[in-house]
Structure 1
Amino acid sequence: MRIKKIHHVAVICSDYERSKDFYVRILGLKPVNEVYREERGSYKLDLTVNGMYQIELFSFPNPPKRPSFPEAAGLRHLAFEVDSVEETVEHLIGEGVPVEEVRIDPSTQKKFTFFPDPDGLPIEIYEA
């Protein structure tokens, strides 16, 4: 077996329109395809990250809450690489997104921080 790359990351949203606005307008991800799956009562929106990776946003009727934050077993957070953590933090704060204090990775000496998506999913920004 040889894995070539990550194909996509799927996120289930409690408020699809709010999450769509967050990921498209605030984070700047580009919509590729959006469909409503009537048989499931669910939207699916494919978003591209710099033309390479894909985030899939899903809406489902009454999705269950995360069992705990952020240390539940399973996927811990989604991380995006940015050129400038400070500029990204300034943009997020300007959009009303709460952002944690910027930290330095002790192994790489790179800056990083976290902020939540509309459902509280932890998102990290990590300086290139």
Structure 2
Amino acid sequence: MSYTFDVGDDTLWGPVNSVARIFMGTVKSISTEYRVPSGIGDDLMGMVEIDPVEFASFVQRVLAERAKSLHLYKDMLLDGVLPLLIALADRGGMGVEGRTPEENAYLERVRAWRLPMLRPDN
């Protein structure tokens, strides 16, 4: 079994249930902490709709927080999810861009990994 993370009719990612639940819980915590909507919709029987405008803003905010952070543990926690957020935004063509040299360096490093975002049919 797996979830699907969709923008309209386009499935961006299809992780297994446990990965999806951990991801969504982490995103919810970050969204609450920074008081910004994540753009990740509710779990509707394994289908999750992404609002591309809200999601892009959310990823930009998390990227900015990570780039300016000087806290080792905060960095480690954000590093656990931010690469996935960036990969999803990139796959959905949501235009996440660096606004500072630190943000650009982070994006360049993450994008070099070329994270596979498997769909359920892969």
- Same fold judged by TM-score > 0.5? no
Bigger RCO of structures 1 and 2 (CA < 8 A, at least 6 apart): 2
Shorter-chain TM-score: which interval?
Answer: 0.3 to 0.5
Higher helix proportion: 2
Larger Rg belongs to: 1
Higher strand proportion: 1
